[in-house]
Amino acid sequence: MKKLLETRNLKKYFRTPRGMLYAVDNVSFVIKEGETLGVVGESGCGKSTLGRCVVRLHDVTDGQVWYKEKEISRLSRKDFRDYRRDMQMIFQDPFSSLNPRMSVSQIIAEPLIIHKMCANSFELGRKVGELMDTVGLARRLASSYPHELDGGRRQRIGIARALSLNPRFIVCDEPVSALDVSIQAQILNLMQDLQEELRLTYMFITHNISVVKHISNNIMVMYMGTVVELAPSPDVFRYRMHPYTKALLDAAPIPDPDKKRRREPLKGEITSPIDLPAGCRFAKRCVYASGECFSSDPLLKEYRPGHFTACHNTEKINEL
Amino acid sequence: MPNNPGSKESSKESVMVSKRNQWGDIAGRLVKNQAAVVGFVIVALFVLCALFPRWIAPYGYDDQDLAKQFVKPCAEHLFGTDDYGRDIFSRVVYGSRISLSIGLVSISFSCVVGVLIGCVAGYYGNVLDNTLMRLMDIMLAMPSILLAIAIVSALGAGLRNLVIAIGISTIPQYARIVRASVLSIKDQEFIEAARCIGASDWRILMRHILPNCMAPIIVQATMNIAIAILSAASLSFIGLGIAPPTPEWGAMLSAGRAYLRNHWFIVIFPGAAIMLSVFAFNLFGDGLRDALDPRLKS
Amino acid sequence: MSNRLLEVKNLVVKYRSGKTAVHAVNGISFGIRKGESLGLVGETGAGKTTTALAILRLIASPPGKIEGGEVEYDGKNLLELPESGMRHIRGNRISMIFQDPMTSLNPVMTVGDQIAATIRLHRKKSRKDAAVEARNMLELVGIPGERYNEYPHQFSGGMKQRVMIAIALSCNPSLLIADEPTTALDVTIQAQVLDLIEKLKREFDTSLLLITHDLGVVAEVCENAAIMYAGEIVEYGNLRHIYKGTLHPYTQGLFESIPNIDEDVRRLKPIEGMMADPTRLPQGCAFALRCPYKDGGCEKNAIPVFEPEPGHLVKCLKWSEIKGSDRRKRLEERRGERIA
């Protein structure tokens, strides 16, 4: 399959009063057409910033974003407009991502109006109706306001808005985190159906490990702005090569009383990546950390076919 | 399954892309709010007086009858007469025209300019924000009445200049309020979503940000109508506003001040008119703010 | 059972606004023994938090009102206690941890002083003794004592939740109510906080009522679980009953909605539809609308509670059918494979 999106050494730094914040540092990945890349990590690991850099809601500090064989991170706003249609985003919070003063139909129609995709209001209405069918929203809700609907329906509005421009690629930023599990399953199924039917490519950002496993082809684990592990989804769970990946997977509670988590929880907490010293960013919390970890940055290396890890001690830990 | 993307029972039909008939909803919510209804009725009465003073007032506003100075309120002169024997009720009725128009016109002017400045400053930030807001700070540092005096004395007295002076002096208040709400709304996800679908800055400001910061603007505007009426009165008092015999509530108040001790009705009634209109505008404004928000259930 | 610490009987709570009433909690009953930990599981709007607030009589009234039932604690009905007696219970005998540690702490008071203030509120202690004890509490929850004089904004989310736990346990309560204590936290921090709660619970022999939407968290911390739906407890039992011998279709639906780490399922099986409107609950079973097993009988009358095995309660007419159904078998097979 063809590459659809690629980033090369993507960097996004923010200047803060306390120093430079390395939100995304040297991130490279490839997403093939029709596949899903899951991006996991805890809050503050830079996964949302990364997603926003890809769709140009943030300008990148350094590095490149390639979409269909073209570098797009430095296009002018006008030139980027054409890519807007292809690259859309679904947001986390179905309560704040919809303008409370607009009706459901207005929200879904807005992209079509901006990009002048419908000749007249009849055609616009028909398109909006179709989109509502596609995401499973009853048409009688067209003139409702978002606050009158529950979280699941609101998230469907967000999905319909993203689909209205016929995108190829969608960044999904925690699309189900704010939803109850039964509704979450409905939305996940919907997103999978849409992916198959419309041949969509997803970048799926989440902190929920079981969700990311369910939906992704490849998984990228991030920690403090860097990629620590990148591999096909089953491999991440089977080999869990990086110590942080191990800790993250172990920490997730399992709904099964026979499988009680009986391990040392990860010590310490994630800190903001501000003015970092050299060395592995996870070293301070890592049980395997050795002298080298505190002096030089580990690079992402391929240890098994398609399985990349950034850890000096990968071989030692995993007995490769 | 409700989420089966294949279900296209009615895919040929078109959906109305619009809001529900919003005015009906707003009116419905407004009617439920008793305080707002009271405010609305009083405002409506004043507007009627302003539109048709001739039909309501029993006398002309400058009909003098020196034989009837300082008549106490009675059937013939509801509010009594003043030092020239003019009917105070008639003057209050005619005065509503001047006072209300000063209030409404100056507030519309300052509201539009102030909101624009606030939006631009809040949305674009950085240098533009700093420049505009420091300018507003300088204006705020001067007492608004002094600023108005300076403007009127530069432009000359008269109704139009009075309106301009009052309008300019209240611009910073709107700018500050709007900037603050723009800053808080700007970071919400639906603004990012709008940028993501390619909306222009202008569209984001007008369709997404501004409608969501109406509440404080409306409250401020209705309160400022009151302040504008009072400012006009003060300016008239020091001779920079409306020249007598034109009946302006503030001017009447200040002209009658000398007789307060013996003839209370000369100042009480214009004063009551100011108070009542201010009160009514505030009630109505509060109600309007709530009614305009679709999140509050009717 | 006689050694029940807390016994809730037929608790009914409604919120009224205008003419409509939201039926938040509809006659639920459960008990907690000394040292027991019970997980109260349900989705948004199931009435979990309302139940907890009702136990402590913290429901804002109006619009909320406890319309019936009993909350028996240590032999006393808390619902009949005068407000002064209730103040003695709250924070002292029964304390509560809230979901959002960011807003539960006073931003202008040092964390140490906040713990000390709670201690002084319920115990006759000098300022100095309370401060010493507060410092001990901080260290107990894994925060170095020298951070006593820091303010909440200097703490991360996980650390704030530790402070909340220290405050909640500072008077050695016999019951701790934790309302989604880890929902706002990252998984690795959640694991730390859960471990801490478990450890302290054992150390202090405190009973725990853990409110959560996460079946995984309950499996980790609790002995018993109660599944709530639309203001009712639809299934109650020990972990084995609930996780291995699921009998209520809603509980089944919850399990099937969760993507599982240990197995690959192409499609999830969500529960169809949405929670019943709490202002217009149906006469019969509130879950009937979404239930694949329902028949005419389910929608007619209120559903009685069945006890298919000792200690396993289920509020469903169809439990015997569910016990033998394919769906259940499949569920069991899946679990079996995973353990293998």
The domain that holds C72 is classified in CATH as 3.40.50.300
Say if residues B185 and B212 touch (Cβ distance below 8 Å): yes
Q: Is residue C150 part of a domain?
A: yes
- Residue A1 DSSP label: -
Place of tokens 């200049």: B161
Q: Read off the pLDDT of residues C273-290 as tens digits, 9 standing for 90 and up.
A: 888 888 888 888 888 888
**Residues C81, C94: contact at Cβ < 8 Å?**
no
Contact B190 A98 (CB under 8 A): yes
State yes or no: pLDDT of C332 exceeds 80.
no
In Å, how far is B1's CA from the nearest CA of chain A?
9
In a domain, C96, yes or no: yes
What integer pLDDT is reported at residue A285 of this predicted model? 86
3-state secondary structure of C185: coil
pLDDT tens for A128-137 read: 999 999 999 9
pLDDT given for residue B296 in this prediction: 61
Given a contact cutoff of 8 angstroms between Cβ atoms, the answer to whether B173 and B224 are in contact is: yes
Q: What is the mean pLDDT of chain A?
A: 89
* Residue B1 scores a pLDDT above 50: no
For the cut 70, the answer to whether the pLDDT of residue A264 exceeds it is: no
How are strands ordered across the β-sheet holding C20-33?
C20-33, C4-17, C64-73, C76-77
Q: Are residues C27 and C174 in the same domain?
A: yes
Chains contacting A (3+ CB pairs below 8 angstroms): B, C
Nearest to A109 among B11, B17, B192 (CB): B17
DSSP state of B192: H
Residue A220 CA to residue A39 CA, distance in Å, equals: 5
C234 lies in some domain: no
pLDDT band at residue B146, thresholds of 50, 70 and 90?
Answer: confident
Measured CA distances, B54 to A54, A161, B93, C38, C325 (Å): 68, 57, 9, 78, 86
Interface test with B, best of A55, A96, A155 (most B CBs within 10 A): A96
- What is d(CA A249, CA A41) in angstroms, rounded to the nearest whole number? 11
Task: Provide the domain limits for residue C188.
Answer: 4-222
| The pLDDT value given to residue B3 | 41
Instruction: Provide the pLDDT confidence category of residue C325 given band limits of 50, 70 and 90.
Output: low
The answer to whether residue B140 scores a pLDDT higher than 90 is: no
Q: Quick one: closest CA in A to B2, which residue?
A: A136
- Say if the Cβ atoms of C44 and A43 lie within 8 Å: no
Listed by number, the residues of chain C in 195-254 with a beta carbon closer than 8 Å to a beta carbon of chain A are 195, 213-220, 239-240, 243-244, 253-254
- Percent share of chain A, pLDDT over 70: 98
Shortest CA gap A33–chain B (Å) = 21
The shortest C-alpha distance from B184 to chain C (Å) reads: 19
Q: Is residue C49 part of a domain?
A: yes
- Asked whether residue C206 falls in the same domain as residue C289, the answer is no
Closest CA relative to residue A193, chosen from A153, A159, A146: A159
Q: Are residues C51 and C138 in the same domain?
A: yes
Co-location of C267 and C184 in the same domain: no
**B132, pLDDT greater than 80:** yes
Interface predicted TM-score (ipTM): 0.86
Tokens 């201010």 -> residue: B278
Interface list for A 197-226 with B (CB within 8 A): 197
Residue C56 has pLDDT above 80, yes or no: yes
Task: Please state the rounded mean pLDDT for residues C253-261.
Answer: 84
Question: What secondary structure, in 3-state letters, does C134-182 show?
Answer: HHHHHHHCCCCHHHHHCCHHHCCHHHHHHHHHHHHHCCCCCEEEEECCC
Q: Read off the pLDDT of each residue in C88-107 and give the average, rounded to a whole number.
A: 85
Q: What Cα–Cα distance (Å) separates residue A263 from each residue in A180, B174, C141, C243, C340?
A: 28, 58, 19, 22, 21
Residue C13 lies inside a defined structural domain of this protein: yes
Q: CA nearest C42: which of C216, C227, C222?
A: C227
Closest CA to A245 of A264, A229, A267: A229
What pLDDT shows up at residue B121?
A: 93
Q: C197 and C258 share a domain?
A: no
Contact A85, A166 (CB under 8 A): yes
Mean pLDDT of A61-77: 90
pLDDT at position C329: 60
Instruction: Please give the domain boundaries of chain A with CATH numbers for all domains.
Output: 3-318 (3.40.50.300)
Q: Which of B125-129, B145-149, B181-185 has the lowest mean pLDDT?
A: B145-149
Q: Which pLDDT band, with edges at 50, 70 and 90, does B123 fall under? A: very high
Q: Are C318 and C293 in contact (CB under 8 A)?
A: yes
**Token pair belonging to C164:** 């909340």
Residue C69 and residue C131 in one domain:
yes
Cβ pair C92, C122 in contact under 8 A: yes
Q: How do residues A156-201 score in pLDDT, each as one tens digit?
A: 999 999 999 999 999 999 999 888 888 889 999 999 999 999 999 9
Q: What is the pTM of this model?
A: 0.84
Write the DSSP assignment of C97-117 as a string of letters. Answer: E-S-HHHHS-TTS-HHHHHHH
Question: Which chain C residue has the Cα nearest residue A238?
Answer: C262
Query: C159 near C142, Cβ under 8 Å?
Result: no
Classify residue C230: in a domain, yes or no.
no
Distance CA B19, CA A121 (A): 14
3-state DSSP assignment of residue A226: strand
* Cβ contacts of A161 on chain B, cutoff 8 Å: 193, 197
Range A209-222 average pLDDT: 92
CB A265 to CB C191 under 8 A? Answer: yes
The shares of helix, strand and coil residues in chain B, as percent rounded to the nearest 5, are 70, 0, 30
Q: How far apart are CA C89 and CA B190, in angstroms?
A: 45
How much is the mean pLDDT over chain C?
A: 85
Is the pLDDT confidence value at B242 over 90? no
Asked if the structure places residue C48 within a domain, the reply is: yes
**pLDDT (mean) for C45-67:** 87
Same domain? C284 vs C151: no
**Most trustworthy range by pLDDT among A101-105, B263-267, C73-77:** A101-105
pLDDT digits (tens, 9 = 90+) for C214-234: 998 999 889 999 999 999 999
pLDDT for the residue numbered C177: 92
pLDDT band at A244 (very low <50, low <70, confident <90, very high): very high
CB–CB contact C273 B2 (8 Å): yes
For residue A213, give the chain C residue with the closest CA.
C261
Least confident of B169-173, B263-267, C204-208: B263-267
C290: chain B residues, CB-CB within 8 Å: none
- Of A217, A250, A207, whose CA–CA distance to A41 is shortest? A207
Given a cut of 90, whether residue A205 has pLDDT beyond it is yes
Residues of C in contact with B2 (CB under 8 A): 272-273
How many separate domains does chain C show?
Answer: 2
Mean pLDDT for B154-162 is 83
Q: Show residues of chain A in contact with C156, CB under 8 Å.
A: 269
Distance from CA of C172 to the nearest CA of B (A): 42
Q: What is the pLDDT of residue B10?
A: 46
Do C119 and C158 fall within a single domain? yes
Please check whether residues C81 and C200 belong to one and the same domain.
Answer: yes
Kindly state whether residue C297 falls inside one of the protein's structural domains: yes
Q: Which domains does chain B have, with CATH numbers?
A: 74-292 (1.10.3720.10)
Let me know whether C157 and C207 are in one domain: yes
* Residue B212 sits at the chain A interface (C-beta within 8 Å): yes
Nearest chain C Cα distance for residue A175, angstroms: 15
pLDDT over 50 (residue C6): yes
Nearest CB to A136; choose among B4, B9, B295: B4
